Chain A
Amino acid sequence: MNLEDLLRQQRDEAARPAGELTVRRLLHGIEAEHRRRVASPESLRAMGEVHDEFMAARAALVAGREAADRGELAAAAGHLRVAARSSAGDAAVRLAGVLAKLEIYGEALEWCEAAERDGWQEAADLAVRCREALGQPPKASEVPRHALADRSKPEPVRRPDDPSVSADPGLSRRMKALACTAPLHDLDRHKEMLKWLPEGVYQMAEIGMHTIDRIALAMDFDTGAAHDDVVQRVRPFIAAQAPERSTAEHERVARWVLEKLINVGTVDRVFRGVYGEIDEEGAYQRRLFDFKLLVEVPGPRGGIFLRASDQAINVLVGALDTDIESSQVAAEVKLGNLIDRGQLNDARLAAETARYRTIQFAESLRYKLDATRRDVRMVDWDRALPDLLDKALKHVEERFRVEHAILQNITDQRDNADDPKRKRLAADLVAIVQECIRRHTQLQARLVSARGSFREEQDRQLFSGLPQRPALNLQTQLLLPLLELPIAHAAGPSDVFFRAASGPHVPDVLSLTGLVMMLLRPSADRGRTAGPVADPHLDEAPDLARFPLHLWDRAEELLDLPGEVVELSELLAAAAELDSDLPALVALLAARACNPAVSAAVANGDSSILIAVPSGMPIPPSPGIDVLGDDLLLTIAEVVDVEAHEKHEGIA
């Protein structure tokens, strides 16, 4: 099909609903096609490509028109976008109309402007409407045509001279998210500095990510994971990376990664990132961003547990939404899907998240009731709390409905599953969902009694007589203003309060009796709190021995001469053949044998001893033997305790 055919087809199509508008559109279509043909290169191949593109655009335009007529606006917008990008017919104008109906005014405005430049006068009216909807002044600056054509995905209109263009909140958000990954990269960078670690065995960032995952999984509402538990849970993963290394080393690696993620060694245990932002005046401002990956939280009975921080979960684990309502809905949708697809393992995680959200509601309520008990005026019982109660009640209702449905679904799954693993997973999930339902029941009971406790507290606090004397409200009038002050200013008031509220201090007077008592006092019990503990760095003790052990063994073998007399020079020659360092040791041992420690040998009960006497000749110099002096005759003598021997003889 050649170009003429196409144009004829277009003309036929366009001619059907006759009228001035259609004729003009037809003319524009032909004009646009003409420009395209003139602009395109002469080569036939290129022409063919242009044809294909045009064909696709035509088809898209037709599909888009039909979809728009049927009222399927989203589908129509998709088709028309394809068509409009190739400037096919009146696609741009139609697309703008569809987008305006969908209320995507920014994009609609772009296409209007493009259509206006192509000569479609009716686009102007639409453009005005879009600008009104966007709250822009009627005349916006021109968007260059080529920029529009190159854009594969249209973006909202922005004025390039607006300073807020680079103060895009998305930029700061992304920079913050990026900063959260820095500690993980640092793990791999810092591992080079660990002397006890073999090079290139462990992937620290992976271990770090795995550690965070394990902690996020172990997180319950009340507690988190204990340090040792985390180490034990992560160890198999580390062992998989280096099965040939020892278990002790795996644990050490796990502990090191854990400490790095907690950021042990700093007072605040925070990681700090710096990002830039452009403020209202257009000036660049560096801002500090503090974050934690793992936080230590107090558990019941004084224990310390680990939890993954919100930042860690958002960036690294991937639960992106922290708004309760929406994440609850998301979790529920996910749960339903997972169960449908039979992925129960993930479903378990989703169910746990759902339970976590539920408990948060209960916790928020409990907190507000506690605050009410302290001071009813601290809680907004006029609007905020009734809102919360209504929201929570609605939430409980909804959850009851959804979770009973889910429970039924997975109970079926559990009963029908053949695979024992899946059966067990489903059984676990049933337990979790039952636990969720139990939590909802609890929450509901609290919701019902909440208003009652408010009334009781109101009676107690507000109708119990007037105060006897004026006093300040410490929290709202002192604590909050103090918290809002910059550190440098806050030092004054906080110091004043501390001094005034602590009473007089009686200085310690030094007296001799007091000093003696103090010195004699038994040491106090170990306190429950302590400052950071410095890990002493122990160097390996240097090996000061002149000769290694195996040389001593060799030397003893050589000097073991029962019943024979050997010259030292012979032994030295034999020793030099074995080891270059051995002659020196043999010579030293032989020299010691000149004055044998006989009494020591007797005391030790040794049966024999090496003795040496000078032979009167010097040791002949020879290569490899660096010993000078008199040659010695060496032999082994038996050690006999004379007194005992004589006694023994006498008895005999």
Chain B
Amino acid sequence: MNPADTAEAARLVAMGLRAKHIPSRETEYRDLVRRYQEDELFAATADAVATGLGLHVLDVSQRSGIILAADAGSVFEVKMEDYARRSLARGERRDTEKVLHGIVHLAVAALCFPRADDLANSSYVGRVSVDVVDVVVRDACRALDERTAVEGDGDPTAEEPELEKAWRAYVRRPEVAATKDSRHNSDTTRAMISRALRWLADRGLLQSVGDEKDGVFRTTSKYQVHVRQLASHATFKSLLSLGVVPPMGPRLLHAVPTPELP
């Protein structure tokens, strides 16, 4: 393989780093994707270029182009510290803030792909909006609250605040709050969800549906691939390593949200 071909392979990887480029809109990109699919040597070169940069190729398709994921420690890695930095400056425990952002992102994915089948089915397009995410997480929290009430494990103890359960932190956070100049406070759950959705849309993982003010987004196949092939498994493993065994197969109502009326 000559240097010109290597340059082409590197160009394909570079295309993958541009958030909103898709093959159907660019002839060059389309050709590169086709070459990746047909030419094994070219594909291997592109994979090698990616690996050298600290990336790995998750998927290459005509629909969403080359989908890359950053390896741990590479310059392309997104860090929660950077994402949550804005809020961290204002006191409150660092962990709580980060966990809340993580919960929000996971909940967005869970609402985009409500069933395992939806996540598996490549042609499925999910829809998500701020309201639904917040309502569903709050109801899940309420179900957990009811369960702890039944089990007799009441309020958290005052001595060990770090053992407070994650859902309590979420419930405690207000849904919305007005600032003194009548804008929305950014530390509320809805503002966090809205930020997560816009952030994902900026990276080409979600697309806004209709007017942006409505706050309704639909999923892209890029997001589905990220969640399905990487994020869900990595999180599952991380939970297993903590000794949490997530239930296999669907759980029925008792596990989840049904808002028994307040």
Quick check: is A8 within 8 A (CB to CB) of the other chain? Answer: no
In A281-334, which residues have CB < 8 Å from any B CB?
285-290, 292, 295-298, 302, 304, 310, 322, 324
Assess the A530–B119 pair: CB atoms within 8 A.
no
A373 vs B218: C-alpha distance when bound (angstroms): 17
Quick check: is A543 within 8 A (CB to CB) of the other chain? Answer: no
Q: Which A residues lie within 8 Å of B178 (CB)?
A: 227, 296, 304
Quick check: is A361 within 8 A (CB to CB) of the other chain? Answer: yes
Q: Which B residues lie within 8 Å of A304 (CB)?
A: 176-178, 184
In B128-187, which residues have CB < 8 Å from any A CB?
131-132, 135-137, 139-141, 144, 154-159, 161-170, 172-181, 183-187
In the assembled complex, the CB of B180 is this many whole angstroms from the nearest CB of chain A, namely: 4
Q: Which A residues lie within 8 Å of B191 (CB)?
A: 529
Q: Which B residues lie within 8 Å of A172 (CB)?
A: 154
Assess the B250–A497 pair: CB atoms within 8 A.
no
Assess the A488–B246 pair: CB atoms within 8 A.
no
Contact of A506 among B17, B79, B96, B179 (CB under 8 A): B17
In the assembled complex, the CB of A150 is this many whole angstroms from the nearest CB of chain B, namely: 34
Quick check: is A473 within 8 A (CB to CB) of the other chain? Answer: yes
Question: Knowing that A360-B262, A487-B99, A498-B101 are A-B contacts, what are 6 other residue pairs whose CB atoms are under 8 Å apart, sorted by A's residue number?
Answer: A287-B157, A296-B174, A474-B109, A497-B232, A503-B226, A505-B70
Bitwise interface map of A from 452 to 496 toward B, beta carbon under 8 Å scored 1, else 0: 000000000100000111111111111111111111111111111
Q: Which B residues lie within 8 Å of A492 (CB)?
A: 238, 242
Contact of B231 among A364, A476, A500, A505 (CB under 8 A): A500
Quick check: is B37 within 8 A (CB to CB) of the other chain? Answer: no
Assess the A298–B190 pair: CB atoms within 8 A.
yes
Assess the A487–B256 pair: CB atoms within 8 A.
no
Q: Which A residues lie within 8 Å of B116 (CB)?
A: 467, 470-473
Q: Which A residues lie within 8 Å of B17 (CB)?
A: 504, 506
Assess the A499–B78 pair: CB atoms within 8 A.
yes
Q: Which A residues lie within 8 Å of B157 (CB)?
A: 285-288
In A248-278, which residues have CB < 8 Å from any B CB?
262, 264, 267-270, 274, 277
Assess the B115–A374 pair: CB atoms within 8 A.
yes
Quick check: is A528 within 8 A (CB to CB) of the other chain? Answer: yes
Binds B, one of A71-79, A378-386, A621-629: A378-386
Assess the A471–B175 pair: CB atoms within 8 A.
no
Assess the B258–A368 pair: CB atoms within 8 A.
yes
Closest to A497 in B: B235
In the assembled complex, the CB of B105 is this many whole angstroms from the nearest CB of chain A, namely: 5
Contact of B246 among A374, A384, A477, A498 (CB under 8 A): A477
Closest to A468 in B: B120
Assess the B140–A483 pair: CB atoms within 8 A.
yes
Assess the B231–A497 pair: CB atoms within 8 A.
yes
A531 vs B81: C-alpha distance when bound (angstroms): 18
Quick check: is B205 within 8 A (CB to CB) of the other chain? Answer: yes
Contact of A530 among B68, B79, B99, B183 (CB under 8 A): B183
Counting chain A CB atoms within 10 Å of each CB, which of B136, B173, B261 scores highest?
B261
Assess the B102–A488 pair: CB atoms within 8 A.
no
Sorting the interface of chain A by its residue count into under 10, 10 to 19, 20 to 34 or 35 or more gives 35 or more
- The residues of B with any CB-CB pair to A shorter than 8 Å are 16-19, 55, 67-70, 74-80, 83, 86, 90-93, 95-96, 98-99, 101-103, 105-107, 109-111, 113-117, 119-122, 131-132, 135-137, 139-141, 144, 154-159, 161-170, 172-181, 183-187, 190-191, 194-195, 199-200, 203-205, 213, 222-223, 226-228, 230-236, 238-239, 242, 244, 246-248, 250-262
Assess the A533–B222 pair: CB atoms within 8 A.
no
Q: Which B residues lie within 8 Å of A505 (CB)?
A: 70, 76-78, 203
Contact of B187 among A481, A507, A531 (CB under 8 A): A531
Closest to A276 in B: B158
Given contacts A478-B110, A529-B191, contact A501 B227 (CB under 8 A): yes
In the assembled complex, the CB of A1 is this many whole angstroms from the nearest CB of chain B, namely: 59
A493 vs B106: C-alpha distance when bound (angstroms): 10
Contact of A363 among B117, B194, B200, B261 (CB under 8 A): B261
A364 vs B142: C-alpha distance when bound (angstroms): 13
In the assembled complex, the CB of B162 is this many whole angstroms from the nearest CB of chain A, namely: 5
In the assembled complex, the CB of B152 is this many whole angstroms from the nearest CB of chain A, namely: 9
Q: Which B residues lie within 8 Å of A468 (CB)?
A: 120-122
Assess the B231–A494 pair: CB atoms within 8 A.
no
Assess the A494–B99 pair: CB atoms within 8 A.
yes
Assess the A485–B176 pair: CB atoms within 8 A.
no
Q: Which A residues lie within 8 Å of B256 (CB)?
A: 378, 475-476, 480
A25 vs B173: C-alpha distance when bound (angstroms): 68
Assess the B242–A531 pair: CB atoms within 8 A.
no
List 8 A-B pairs, minimum CB-CB distance, nearest first: A494-B102, A380-B253, A500-B231, A374-B114, A474-B110, A501-B231, A286-B158, A504-B76
Quick check: is A502 within 8 A (CB to CB) of the other chain? Answer: yes
Assess the B177–A502 pair: CB atoms within 8 A.
no
Q: Which B residues lie within 8 Å of A302 (CB)?
A: 184, 213
Assess the A469–B163 pair: CB atoms within 8 A.
no
Q: Which A residues lie within 8 Å of B187 (CB)?
A: 267, 531-532
In the assembled complex, the CB of A20 is this many whole angstroms from the nearest CB of chain B, namely: 53
Assess the A482–B234 pair: CB atoms within 8 A.
no
Quick check: is A346 within 8 A (CB to CB) of the other chain? Answer: no
Quick check: is A641 within 8 A (CB to CB) of the other chain? Answer: no
In the assembled complex, the CB of A166 is this many whole angstroms from the nearest CB of chain B, namely: 15
A277 vs B153: C-alpha distance when bound (angstroms): 11
Q: Which A residues lie within 8 Å of B186 (CB)?
A: 529-531
Q: Which B residues lie within 8 Å of A384 (CB)?
A: 253, 258
A395 vs B131: C-alpha distance when bound (angstroms): 29
A367 vs B86: C-alpha distance when bound (angstroms): 34
Q: Which B residues lie within 8 Å of A24 (CB)?
A: none
A569 vs B162: C-alpha distance when bound (angstroms): 81
Closest to B76 in A: A504
Q: Which A residues lie within 8 Å of B16 (CB)?
A: 504
Assess the B75–A507 pair: CB atoms within 8 A.
yes
Assess the B242–A489 pair: CB atoms within 8 A.
yes
A535 vs B116: C-alpha distance when bound (angstroms): 49
A384 vs B111: C-alpha distance when bound (angstroms): 23
Assess the A494–B76 pair: CB atoms within 8 A.
no
Assess the A467–B120 pair: CB atoms within 8 A.
yes
A274 vs B75: C-alpha distance when bound (angstroms): 46
Contact of B103 among A268, A469, A483 (CB under 8 A): A483
Assess the B236–A478 pair: CB atoms within 8 A.
yes
Q: Which B residues lie within 8 Å of A368 (CB)?
A: 258
In the assembled complex, the CB of B262 is this many whole angstroms from the nearest CB of chain A, namely: 6
Quick check: is A375 within 8 A (CB to CB) of the other chain? Answer: yes
Assess the B106–A486 pair: CB atoms within 8 A.
no
Q: Could you jot down 5 A-B contacts, CB within 8 Å?
A: A172-B154, A476-B251, A486-B165, A488-B162, A498-B105
A477 vs B180: C-alpha distance when bound (angstroms): 40
Contact of B105 among A285, A361, A497 (CB under 8 A): A497
Quick check: is A371 within 8 A (CB to CB) of the other chain? Answer: yes
Closest to B83 in A: A498
Assess the B98–A485 pair: CB atoms within 8 A.
no
Assess the A481–B239 pair: CB atoms within 8 A.
yes
Assess the A490–B154 pair: CB atoms within 8 A.
no
A617 vs B120: C-alpha distance when bound (angstroms): 110
A361 vs B262: C-alpha distance when bound (angstroms): 11
Q: Which A residues lie within 8 Å of B167 (CB)?
A: 483-484
Contact of A367 among B139, B183, B203 (CB under 8 A): B139
Assess the B183–A529 pair: CB atoms within 8 A.
yes
In the assembled complex, the CB of B82 is this many whole angstroms from the nearest CB of chain A, namely: 8
